[in-house]
Amino acid sequence: MTTLSASRPATISVRDALRAEPGRRVSIHGWVRTRRDSKADGGLSFLAVHDGSCFDPIQAVLRASLPNYEQEVLHLTAGCSVEITGELVASQGKGQSVEVNVDPAPEKGGAIRVLGFVDDPDTYPVAQKRHTFEYLREIAHLRPRTNTFGAVARVRHTLAMAVHRFFHERGFFWIHTPIITASDCEGAGQMFRVSTLDAVNMPRTKDGQPDYAQDFFGRQAHLTVSGQLNVETYACALSKVYTFGPTFRAENSNTSRHLAEFWMIEPEIAFCDLAGDADLAEAFVKYLFKAVLEERPDDMAFFNERIDTTVIKTLEFLIETPFERMTYTDAVSTLEKCGEAFEYPVKWGVDLQSEHERCLTERIVKKPVILMNYPKDIKAFYMRLNDDGRTVAAMDVLAPKIGEIIGGSQREERLDVLDRRLDEMKLSKADYWWYRDLRRYGTVPHAGFGLGFERLIQFATGMANIRDVIPFPRTPGNAEF
RNA sequence: UCCCCGAUAGCUCAAUGGUAGAGCGAGCGGCUGUUAACCGCUAGGUUCUAGGUUCGAGUCCUAGUCGGGGAGCCA
């Protein structure tokens, strides 16, 4: 990092300072969390300063002999930005092992410079008190300064890095599938239109419809709802690939588990069947949760204390427990026999409700379950038809408490079967011409799955609302910031 | 999209149809190697918007806006 002044020691992050050996002169840049004053030792102020590099702030002990003590230090409030130079020392107080002693004596050379005060501390939106998440959502530009949102941001980063590391270590290539898609055939929900046509003076065809031939791409275009079909093309050339990027759904669903813009991870593996897909999914989830526990113990301890007191136990259980594998058909008959009274009755052919999934994972099997081979009529056209003719090679990973965390399938690699499925679902073969080409030219068995990144973060942190695990949530009626 | 709940000080919330309050935060002072600090004082309000009922509306009625919970759909 560039130093702002030649006479100061190099800037050190709060994270590194908290781990460093006492005795060293350091400079810290950060923001004030709290200030406490004392008349002891001729006058002291204690500043908690954070810079986001780790969960904990560092304590700076400011001496009243500082030239700007009366004028500036005694007016520091939450949110002020400061540059602190001093000596790392073992703390005399409880609650921290090291602190920065800021003593202006010539042999100490301590100093504090205020880079920015807070206008009108009375109305500073991130006052030093508890705030509701609903309120903090309205100040999404300031909420990363809080404990919770700082911790979420670090965990989100850690998980993203772990995703790439997991695949990289296993020889997967990261494929950047397009954000804008002109194919209207991804079939995973309502799409956002991408257009440069003048909405007021819309060019029309003879029959009065908007004339998309005059649009930017010469045809209708949308934001992607899934990179899967595109990434399959790379799996059928590079064998092991994945996408990890933003996706968009224009569904008018307003829940704590849905966003209009979210990030999705979709691996795709050639020469792989459903069992191999399930094995990969299990290893993947375990790797990610292990990474976050190992790399962010400070943030996880916070989530476990303040957000969800079972979150660490839940993650540890997921990591060490082999997942149960069960067919959809067996799951349905098990649920039918379990004697539980469901709001929605279970029977073969219907999709499982969340109450069914919870009963299965929490009361019957008591561990994560990978359900396989669902009825073809409740699943997508590209899933491989099983020999029984009525189920497809699909799998969902279900976990106790958290429900579905992954959905995947072996893809239909046989052109004639794929075409029959397209016909059955009244989809146009012409629209899928390039997808069908993969089956015409050297087709191979392949499989993959999808995992919603924000839901993963919810599971890992215990955060209840998905709007609080993405920096700037987009939901129906809200694209502020 | 459907059902339910809510909107009052910077924030979290009180207030029988009759003078709008508290806690936290903030400011000032006191005390203390402090750390969810503590003690005292002070300031802070177009009660979401627009109509309506009433002698009188934060409170009741209508519509709207925004937020939350649940459902559906899914990731």
The model's pLDDT over A216-261, given as tens digits with 9 standing for 90+, comes to 999 999 999 999 999 999 999 999 999 999 999 998 888 888 999 9
pLDDT digits (tens, 9 = 90+) for A351-360: 888 778 888 8
B36 C1': nearest CA residue: A129
DSSP code, position A316: H
- CA–CA separation, A338 and A340 (whole Å): 6
Specify the DSSP element, H or E, that contains A386.
none
Specify the DSSP element, H or E, that contains A149.
helix A147-169
* C1' (B5) to CA (A316) span, angstroms: 37
Positive or negative CA dihedral for A459, A465, A467, A468? Answer: negative
Task: Report the nucleotide nearest the CA of residue A407, measured to C1'.
Answer: B75
Which pLDDT does position A184 carry in this prediction? 61
Task: Report the nucleotide nearest the CA of residue A133, measured to C1'.
Answer: B68
Q: Return the axis-axis angle of helices A274-295 and A311-320, rounded to nearest 10°.
A: 140
Instruction: Give the 3-state secondary structure of residue A15.
Output: helix
Mean pLDDT of successive 10-residue stretches along chain A, which has 481 residues: 60 93 92 90 90 94 92 91 94 86 90 91 86 92 93 97 98 97 70 90 90 93 93 97 95 88 96 96 96 96 91 93 93 86 82 83 86 92 94 90 85 96 89 94 96 93 93 89 86
Which pLDDT does position A187 carry in this prediction? 61
Residues making up chain A, counted from first to last: 481
Do residues A366 and A322 lie in contact, with contact meaning Cβ atoms separated by under 8 Å?
Answer: no
pTM of the predicted model as reported, rounded to 2 decimal places = 0.93
Residue A293 to residues A162, A212, A284, A300, A367, Cα–Cα distance (Å)? 12, 50, 15, 7, 19
Q: How many CB atoms within 10 Å of residue A239?
A: 17
Q: Any bridge partners for residue A199, and if so which?
A: none
* C1' (B29) to CA (A36) span, angstroms: 15
B37 C1': nearest CA residue: A36
User: The complex's ipTM?
Assistant: 0.89
Phi/psi of residue A237, each to 5°? Answer: -155, -40
Phi/psi of residue A302, each to 5°? Answer: -65, -50
- CA–CA separation, A432 and A459 (whole Å): 35
| A367-383: burial string, b at 16+ Cβ within 10 Å, e else | bbbbbbbbbbeebbbbb
Q: Cα A144–A146–A118 angle (5° rounding)?
A: 90
pLDDT digits (tens, 9 = 90+) for A303-328: 999 899 889 999 999 999 999 999 99
* C1' (B40) to CA (A61) span, angstroms: 26
Which pLDDT does position A5 carry in this prediction? 47
* C1' (B21) to CA (A28) span, angstroms: 44
| A412-435: burial string, b at 16+ Cβ within 10 Å, e else | bbeeeebbebbeeeeeeeeebeeb
Which pLDDT does position A403 carry in this prediction? 74
Q: Return the axis-axis angle of helices A147-169 and A453-461, rounded to nearest 10°.
A: 120
- Nucleotides of B strand lying within 7 Å of any protein CB atom: 1-2, 10-13, 24-28, 31-37, 43, 66-75
* C1' (B73) to CA (A170) span, angstroms: 34
* C1' (B54) to CA (A254) span, angstroms: 40
Q: Return the axis-axis angle of helices A453-461 and A311-320, rounded to nearest 10°.
A: 110
Task: Report the nucleotide nearest the CA of residue A466, measured to C1'.
Answer: B75
